[in-house]
């Protein structure tokens, strides 16, 4: 389901096809000699189910329900491994907490500076942004992503009384 904002900007509520994502997750694990355990699968699934770009702590709290003996360290290490093998991406947030994104396709972020909410959106115009030659010449560019810093609708309605920054 995609919410159309205009022809070229649209929010994607459910961009990840779970079955397809799991298949490519397993293929990646095999490629990298990583054993596919129930725990690892559950951690990955938590990420594709949760489109809020959760932190390691948020994933840990979720996964503990099914695996009460799992440690935060294990969850944290597993997430780092997933980033290394390319099934997750790390994204920045305003409280400097590492956040994880199971959507490894090209997309952009709306990032609320108050509550830390991160929402995916797609934009053809942003996809086509050119990287300046000076940068391309000096650095190996791995990707580009536009982050729109904002005050989300939920936070905005709370603060309207107090006026804007
Ligand atoms: Zn917010
Ligand atoms: Zn994202």
d(CA 5, CA 121): 10
- Over residues 6-26, the mean pLDDT reads 70
pTM, entire model = 0.78
pLDDT tens digits along 113-143 = 888 889 999 999 999 999 999 999 999 998 8
Could you state, in order of their start, the residue ranges of all structural domains in the chain? Answer: 2-153
- Over residues 36-44, the mean pLDDT reads 96
Query: Fold for domain 2-153?
Result: Arc Repressor Mutant, subunit A (1.10.10)
* pLDDT higher than 90, residue 68: yes
21 CA to middle of ligand 1, Å? 28
* pLDDT higher than 70, residue 9: no
38 CA to middle of ligand 2, Å? 25
* pLDDT higher than 50, residue 165: no
Query: Residue 6: what pLDDT?
Result: 43
119 CA to middle of ligand 2, Å? 7
96 CA to middle of ligand 1, Å? 16
Ligand nearest to the CA of residue 100, numbered in listed order? 2
75 CA to middle of ligand 1, Å? 26
Query: Residue 39: what pLDDT?
Result: 96
Ligand nearest to the CA of residue 15, numbered in listed order? 2
- Picking from 35-39, 49-53, 76-80, which range would have the lowest pLDDT averaged per residue? 49-53
The string of DSSP letters for the chain reads: -EEESSSSEEEES----HHHHHHHHHHHHHHTT----HHHHHHHHHHHH-TT--BHHHHHHHHTTT-TT--HHHHHHHHHHHHHTTS-EEE--TTS--EEES--SS-EEEEETTT--EEEEEEHHHHTPPPPHHHHHHS-------EEEE--HHHHHHHGGG---
pLDDT tens digits along 18-32 = 888 999 999 999 999
Question: pLDDT averaged over the chain?
Answer: 86
161 CA to middle of ligand 2, Å? 31
């Amino acid at each position: 389901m995609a919410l159309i904002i205009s022809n070229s900007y649209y929010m994607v509520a459910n961009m990840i096809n779970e079955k397809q994502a799991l298949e490519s997750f397993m293929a990646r694990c095999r490629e990298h000699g990583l054993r596919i355990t129930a725990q690892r699968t559950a951690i990955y699934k938590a990420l594709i189910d949760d489109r809020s770009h959760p932190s390691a702590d948020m994933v840990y709290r979720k996964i503990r329900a099914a695996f009460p003996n799992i440690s935060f360290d294990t969850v944290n290490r597993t997430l780092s491994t997933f980033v290394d093998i390319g099934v997750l991406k790390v994204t920045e947030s305003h409280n400097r907490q590492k956040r994880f994104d199971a959507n490894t396709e090209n997309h952009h972020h709306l990032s609320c500076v108050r509550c830390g909410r991160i929402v995916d959106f797609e934009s053809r115009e942003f996809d086509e942004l050119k990287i300046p030659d000076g940068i391309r010449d000096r650095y190996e560019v791995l990707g580009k992503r536009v982050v729109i810093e904002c005050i989300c609708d939920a936070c905005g309605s709370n603060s309207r009384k107090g006026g804007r920054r």
